[in-house]
Every structure is written in C-alpha cells, then in structure tokens.
Structure 1
Amino acid sequence: MIFGNIRNLSEYSFLDSQIQECFAYAKEHDLISFEKGSHEIDGDRLFVNIVEYTTTTPEDRFWEAHREYLDIHVMLDGPEQIDVNFIENMKEEEFQPEKDFLPLQGGANGHVVLDAGDFLVCYPHDAHRTAVKVDEPKLTKKAIFKVKIQ
C-alpha cells in the first residue's frame, strides 16, 4: 500500500510508470465532473471507475483484494476511511475471476482517511474495506484507477 496526496507527486517518482500515468490522467482531467461508471483509458490495461456513495459503518462494508489489477483510489470529494490489512492475515473466500474480486473475512490492522486529493495504491496482497464513515456518514466521490498487472 502507498498512501499520499497528488500535491506531492514529486516524492513518488520511484513508482511504476503505469501508476504515474494514472496520476497524470487525474491531473489532466476534471474527474469530479465525470459521470459514475467505468471510463476506458487504454482498453482493459487501464481504466478508471468513478464511484459515488454514502460512507457507513465497517459492519455494513466488505473486505476485498484483487489479483489482476492494482487499485489506485483517488479521492475527489470526501472524507472516506479505508480499513487495511494484508490478505495473509485474512480468511480468503472464493476468488471471482470475472470481477477480479477476492472476498475476505477478518479485521483491520490499520486505516487511512482520504480527503480530496489523497490517494491509496492497493497491490494484490493488500486487503481493503472502503466506504467507512469518518465521524458521520457522508456522500463521497472517488476515482478508482484499475491498472492491469503485467
């Protein structure tokens, strides 16, 4: 996992070029004006999902991880808490390859709070539970870049 803010991208020059491509796209496009849904950037190699939802309690959310894609969460309007752990610490359920979705059971060993401009990069070993409220439920909007693992 890598947590940061797009204002400080010069500190992350070591990141893979495909991740850098996502940040460049985010800076060059007004993502907050994008409609909810999936937006193709480069076929199935790279696309962005725009999501909008009201945050809630951890008990009302689910744990997930992915095997074929990196997730790069970029908060457009928040806040949102994302609980984190490693899949090695979780109980894995049946992987759903058509959705690249690995459901998990377990608890958090940490969390991050994303506000506008913050990002979280989740690799295949990173379990995450999104849409957790900070203080009280709030409507949020986020871009989730999906980068196919080569």
Structure 2
Amino acid sequence: MIKGNLNSIDNHRYLDEKIIDIIKVVKKRLVENDDCGHYSIIGDKAFFFVVDDHTQLLAERRCEIHKRYIDVQILLAGHECFGYSLEPFLSISEDCLLEKDVAFSEDIVDEKFTCLQAGDFVVFDTLQPHRPLVAVDNPMPVKKAVVKIDKSLI
C-alpha cells in the first residue's frame, strides 16, 4: 500500500512512473469533469470511474483483492479509512476474480489502517488485501475516483 496526495504527486518516489503518469491523467480529467461515470484511459488496460458512495462501520465492510488490476483510489470528497495488509489472505470466501477481478475474505492477517481526506490517494498492488469504505468516525457520504491499472502495463 502506498499513500499520497494529488498536490505532491510529482514528488512521489515510491510509485512506478507509469502509475504516476496515469494518476496525473486522471487528475487532469477530474478538473475538467468529475461527474459520476466510467472513463477510459487506455482501453481496458487503464480506466477509472467516479462514484458517489457511503462509508460504513468496519464490521460491515469486507476485505478484497484484485488479480489483474492495480487499484488506485482517489478521495474527492469526505473522509474514508482503508484497512490493508501486507500478508495474503488465508482463505477466500467469495471468488469473482475471473468475472469481476475481485475476491473477498474474512481472513485478513495483521490488518492496518490509513485514512484519507479529499485529494489523498492510496495504491494497492494486485493480490494485496484491502478493505475500502471504512468510516473514520461515523458513516458518511464520499465521492471518489477508482483507477484500475492492468498489472501488465507496469
């Protein structure tokens, strides 16, 4: 997991240059239009969608992984926490990797948390367990851009 802010993306030294370039494209396009919807960057190799969503209490959120796509989440409005682990799942309770590039588990090991404010982003590599949309204090509406980058591009 790597955390950053859109205002300092040029100074980020822990991210692959291709990921930085794609985040910059998304940042520019969000300035032009942040309407909810699906937006292509490089066909199905890199795209993003903007959503209005709602955080929930920790117990209501499931941990997930992705196999094909690196997951970049940019918070546009609100506050959101993410659970994450550097250890793999012990088991998978729902496997939708082939159909939707997502699998879920209740068996997350050594979960840590990071919280985002508007303008912050977080990057999860493929197969890295993470739990999005966790409420900071109380559940609240959030708006965010979710960027998907095919691992083959990196």
Task: Give the CA deviation at 1:89.
Answer: 4.7
Go from structure 1 to structure 2 and tell me whether the alpha carbon gap of 1:113 and 1:32 turns closer, same or farther (over 3 Å shift). Answer: farther
CA contact 2:2–2:14 (8 Å) conserved in 1: no
Aligned residue number for residue 112 of structure 1: 114
Q: Which sections of structure 2, spanning at least 5 residues, go unmatched?
A: none
Aligned residue number for residue 98 of structure 1: 99
Task: Give the CA deviation at 1:46.
Answer: 0.6
CA contact 1:49–1:144 (8 Å) conserved in 2: yes
- More off after superposition, 76-85 vs 87-96: 87-96
**Matches of 1:23 and 1:136 in 2, distance apart?**
29
CA contact 2:71–2:146 (8 Å) conserved in 1: yes
TM-score, normalised to structure 2's length?
0.86
Task: Give the CA deviation at 1:141.
Answer: 0.5
Aligned residue number for residue 58 of structure 1: 58
C-alpha distance after superposition, 1:64-123 (max 9, x if no partner): 010100001111112001111135254223532110012121246211101111111000
Q: Percent identity?
A: 29
Aligned residue number for residue 4 of structure 1: 4
Q: Which sections of structure 1, spanning at least 5 residues, go unmatched?
A: none
Supply the RMSD in Å over aligned alpha carbons: 2.0
Q: After TM superposition, what 4+ stretches of structure 1 lie above 3 angstroms from structure 2?
A: none
**Matches of 1:8 and 1:42 in 2, distance apart?**
24
TM-score, normalised to structure 1's length?
0.89
C-alpha distance after superposition, 1:6-52 (max 9, x if no partner): 22223324522331122211331235943323211211011002121
